[in-house]
Amino acid sequence: MEKDFHEEYIDCFICGARGTLRIAYRYMNLPVEGEAILLSLRCSSCGYQATDIYPLRESREKFIKIKINSEKDLNKLVYVSSGSRVLIPELKLELELKQIDKGFVTTVEGILERFKEKTEYVCTQENVSSECAELLCSLEKAIRGELKFSLIIEDPFGRSSVF
């Protein structure tokens, strides 16, 4: 276990105290993110604390495209990692996860529900066209499994996946 853990003390960049900031790195194997480093900082002088996780898995761009043909396909599990874009080209829908957003695991239906919520919100605004109602109607059809479409995930870090 020793090689999976490393710590050192440096001068605190918050309060300036000498050698009071402890930096600990711990290697972990997370179920979804794979190998990662957990970094934790703590200053014994000012009490500053922080933790962060850095995935180590090769970060190669990944392009996932699945066809949804029936109600059964709506139950497919999808992990959408932070920084990814989710697209349904047939409905001209797009969802972007910022890098600071947390990734999430959901079903294809869960993604459709997210799009539906977003569309419903947009449709309550003023000056909406009839396209809005049409889109909602198509989304409801898709949620009932009555619409064939493709789901695309573009992930610049390659961590998203379909299970």
- Would you count residue 45 as binding Zn ion (CB under 5 A)? yes
Applying CB under 5 A, the span of 34-42, 46-54, 76-84, 125-133 interacting with Zn ion comes to: 46-54
Smallest separation, CB 50 to Zn ion (Å): 11
Smallest separation, CB 124 to Zn ion (Å): 48
Smallest separation, CB 46 to Zn ion (Å): 3
Q: Which is nearer to Zn ion, 12 or 91 (CB)?
A: 12
The helix/strand/coil state of 78 is: strand
Site string for Zn ion, 47-76 (x = CB under 5 A): -x----------------------------
Interface pick for Zn ion out of 23, 24, 38, 46 (rule CB under 5 A): 46
Let me know if 58 is exposed, middle or buried by CB neighbors in 10 A (0-12, 13-18, 19+). exposed
**According to the 3-state scheme, what is the secondary structure of 82-93?**
CCCEEEEHHHCE
Q: Which is nearer to Zn ion, 41 or 162 (CB)?
A: 41
Q: Which is nearer to Zn ion, 14 or 136 (CB)?
A: 14
As a whole number of angstroms, the distance between CA 134 and CA 120 comes to: 11
106 Cα distance to chain centroid: 10
Phi, psi of 106 (to 5 degrees): -155, 180
Smallest separation, CB 12 to Zn ion (Å): 3
Which of 57, 56, 76 shows the shortest CA–CA distance to 66?
A: 76
Q: Quick one: DSSP state of residue 72?
A: G
Q: Quick one: DSSP state of residue 101?
A: S
Q: What are the residues binding Zn ion (CB under 5 A)?
A: 12, 14-15, 43, 45-46, 48
